[in-house]
Chain A
């Protein structure tokens, strides 16, 4: 079974819709689009990542991280 991974992608804002459509065709299930900052996110089969990265207009594809409140910032007691 092929693992599905969550990714974030940056794309050229000048042709944002076109790049998102091409990413879909490359296997990305697009979940959110952020045209103001040229980014979108979604899930994709891990083995299709090279295909997504090769899409014309895609600048970077990264596996989604979890960010947190930095450690130690809770009140005492």
Chain B
């Protein structure tokens, strides 16, 4: 049976890997206005608006205090931009050619906490839309909507997801991939220093300029093939989990930038491997003292198929020995029509199963899930669409999608956690991780505890 191929010719155009600023945002005709809601740091006075003016040419905003709703209407119509002083919120008009500059300026200015594209949703209770008339009712509803936005943003000040908004118009990847921003890596000072992370996959590009100096033990479990990655998948996963703080020619894409990288090649250059090879890789990684063993691999399962007792025992023993097994939940879904069960070995209860979310923090269309209570469950989700990471020469970098791309985000965050909690056992870290997750308004069957988050 043919499924959608996330990176293939058929699916790529639709689900695409192109870094448009507004990718992943549902685009309905008439949903958006041309304005943006800007949450300003109240301690910074006019600096945020000054930055928007100088950086993006945003027109000066008229100040609105108290309940001057009439003045607000005029300002919106005439100047296009207003500031609600009491709320610390500005509504600014940005023409299409100013949008990118606005987002970049907002990101770079510490006086701007949050930018969100204005929706007509706020106005839906009071029609007609604001371009035509701005009634007092509309403005009252509008102000309530803004207040709600402020409440939501202030509830989650510590997370990058909160900063850019769950449905933000886009993620600027100037300095860091969207996945690192969405998982709070931006605010985390841990680097995974002193923590060993094993990636069991197709090997690694040994001479990749971002990785070559960081590689610890490497070993191939594939007969006749060296650990050199002839496929690319392993190099991509290694990069996401452990890529450097300052890559040569890309924004930062790696989570645990100072972790010790251990690479076991358990999948051939054609991308497949047997249970024996994978168990040999796990055994070796445990021997190597790896705190995290990242496995972006799997085999599809049928609904109701029991999990492997062998892998479940292996995962428990690895935990006792200090290693957490992390595995991709699988790409067999084709949502919304088909949701496939979590694959092997992610479906084992003691293996941490990772689902994928897209740039909109919605469930990725391909992400496998807990389809019945008795099947394997997803424990946590991570960015798995439009993920930039390392790739063998000559490309050096590539954007991919899949639960394989989500998995090393989780493995990297576990390495950060292991550094932060040096006394914690592997089992304790595995329990702690989901408790720190950023809750998402999505079914637990799809995303488990939510979006993985560094703290």
**A interface with B by C-beta (< 8 Å):** 6, 8-10, 13, 31-32, 34-39, 41, 59-62, 64-76
CB of B283 within 8 A of chain A? yes
**In the complex with contacts A31-B276, A60-B309, A65-B314 CB distance below 8 A:** no
CB of B338 within 8 A of chain A? no
Q: Which residues of A contact B332 (CB under 8 A)?
A: 70-71
A61 to B395, CA, bound (A): 43
Per a CB cutoff under 8 Å, which of B287, B308, B366 touches A72? B366
Per a CB cutoff under 8 Å, which of B11, B276, B286 touches A8? B276
Q: Judging by beta carbons under 8 Å apart, are B279 and A75 in contact?
A: no
Q: Judging by beta carbons under 8 Å apart, are A69 and B7 in contact?
A: no
A67 to B280, CA, bound (A): 14
Q: Judging by beta carbons under 8 Å apart, are B404 and A73 in contact?
A: yes
Q: Judging by beta carbons under 8 Å apart, are B344 and A67 in contact?
A: yes
Q: Which residues of B contact A66 (CB under 8 A)?
A: 272-274, 299
Which of A9, A41, A74, A76 gathers most chain B CB within 10 Å?
A76
Q: Judging by beta carbons under 8 Å apart, are B297 and A68 in contact?
A: yes
Shortest distance between the CB of A32 and any CB in chain B (Å): 6
Q: Which residues of B contact A68 (CB under 8 A)?
A: 267, 271-273, 297-299
Q: Which residues of B contact A41 (CB under 8 A)?
A: 275-276, 279
Shortest distance between the CB of A4 and any CB in chain B (Å): 14
Per a CB cutoff under 8 Å, which of B395, B399, B404 touches A70? B404
Q: Judging by beta carbons under 8 Å apart, are A70 and B343 in contact?
A: yes
CB of B429 within 8 A of chain A? no
Q: Which residues of B contact A59 (CB under 8 A)?
A: 309-310, 313
**In the complex with contacts A36-B283, A41-B279, A60-B313, A65-B344 CB distance below 8 A:** yes
Per a CB cutoff under 8 Å, which of A38, A65, A71, A76 touches B275? A65
Interface size class of B (residues with CB under 8 A): 35 or more
Q: Which residues of A contact B232 (CB under 8 A)?
A: 74-75
Interface of chain B residues 140 through 196 with chain A (CB within 8 A): none
11 contacts between A and B (CB under 8 A): A8-B310, A59-B309, A65-B344, A66-B272, A67-B275, A68-B267, A69-B201, A69-B202, A69-B296, A74-B400, A76-B17
**In the complex with contacts A36-B283, A67-B273, A60-B310 CB distance below 8 A:** yes
CB of B9 within 8 A of chain A? yes
A56 to B167, CA, bound (A): 56
Shortest distance between the CB of A13 and any CB in chain B (Å): 6
Q: Judging by beta carbons under 8 Å apart, are B317 and A67 in contact?
A: no
- Taking A8-B310, A72-B401 as given, write out 9 further A-B residue pairs in contact, using a Cβ cutoff of 8 Å, ordered by the A residue number: A10-B314, A62-B309, A67-B298, A68-B271, A69-B201, A70-B298, A72-B402, A74-B7, A75-B400
Q: Which residues of A contact B318 (CB under 8 A)?
A: 37
CB of B328 within 8 A of chain A? yes
CB of B5 within 8 A of chain A? yes
Which of B4, B271, B398 gathers most chain A CB within 10 Å?
B271
Q: Which residues of B contact A60 (CB under 8 A)?
A: 308-310, 313
**In the complex with contacts A10-B309, A69-B404, A37-B317 CB distance below 8 A:** yes
Per a CB cutoff under 8 Å, which of B7, B202, B273 touches A75? B7
Q: Which residues of A contact B401 (CB under 8 A)?
A: 72-73
A65 to B301, CA, bound (A): 11
What is the chain A residue whose CB lies nearest that of B356?
A70
**In the complex with contacts A39-B310, A59-B309, A70-B296 CB distance below 8 A:** yes
Q: Which residues of B contact A39 (CB under 8 A)?
A: 279, 283, 310, 313-314
